[in-house]
Amino acid sequence: MAVPRSRISKSKKRSRSAHSALKPKGVSTCSNCQKTKRPHTICPYCGFYAKRAVISQKSAE
């Protein structure tokens, strides 16, 4: 059975895992409805992307 050659200190272990932290997601505003959305995606509220209507939203009935 495999065993480690030497003990790994807390600082060595923590410095290795320092790069595993979650990074905040990018957020931008829609140029049509001014709501927040993910960058480089179609706006889920109005269906616009780069000032063009890409998908049509259902009207409220």
pLDDT per residue rounded down to tens, the chain (61 residues):
889 899 999 999 999 999 998 989 999 999 999 999 999 999 999 999 988 888 877 654 4
> Does the global pTM surpass 0.85?
no
In Å, how far are 18, 24, 43, 55, 58 from 52, measured between CA atoms? 42, 28, 11, 9, 17
Say whether 17 sits in a helix, a strand or coil.
helix
Contact of 48 with 57, CB cutoff 8 Å: no
